Amino acid sequence: MPGRLRAQHRVMPEMTLPSPYGPLTLREEDGRITALVWGAGGRDETPLLAAAVRQLGAYFAGSLRAFDLPVALRPGLPGEVMLAMMAIPFGETRTYGDLARALGAPPQAVGQACGANPVPIIVPCHRVLGARGLGGFSAPGGVETKVALLRHEGAAALLL
């Protein structure tokens, strides 16, 4: 096509793994995990995606408590919230208000950033609760999936 520019579409590598919550698909770009989504996807095996699949498998098996994976952080407050969520230890929870106070941000903005987390489980938004309840969870199964993840981590006693 002389004289015409072709739009280049760059496909991000993605790899699917089975989990207790159904198939999960990981995506990477520029050496960082950019997304974890529920559902089957690609079968691209890169070193990073293979490591992420191994770590998630170990997490679900109960032998991994902290992920050691590079994650693409969103700019501004959402990225700060992602870092704060990643600092919450396995089996513990914080409230949206706790994170808001630590970050000097409104709780509603923290809640929105948690709800928009593109890398759930690895960036453990399930460990963030509302002041008077569980709060939401955007993955399939919603709050039931959040409770199941907290039970898996032994944090279910905190829900009573």
Q: Kindly report the number of other CB atoms within 10 A of residue 55's CB atom.
A: 16
Q: Can you say whether the dihedral through the CA atoms of 126, 129, 134, 137 is positive or negative?
A: negative
List, in sequence order, every residue forming a beta bridge with 36; answer none if it has no partner.
26
Q: Kindly report the number of other CB atoms within 10 A of residue 59's CB atom.
A: 20
Please identify every residue annotated as catalytic: 125
CB 82 within 8 A of CB 71: yes
**DSSP states of 83-149:** HHHHTSPTT--EEHHHHHHHHTS-HHHHHHHHHT-SSTTTS-GGGEEBTTB-----STTTHHHHHHH
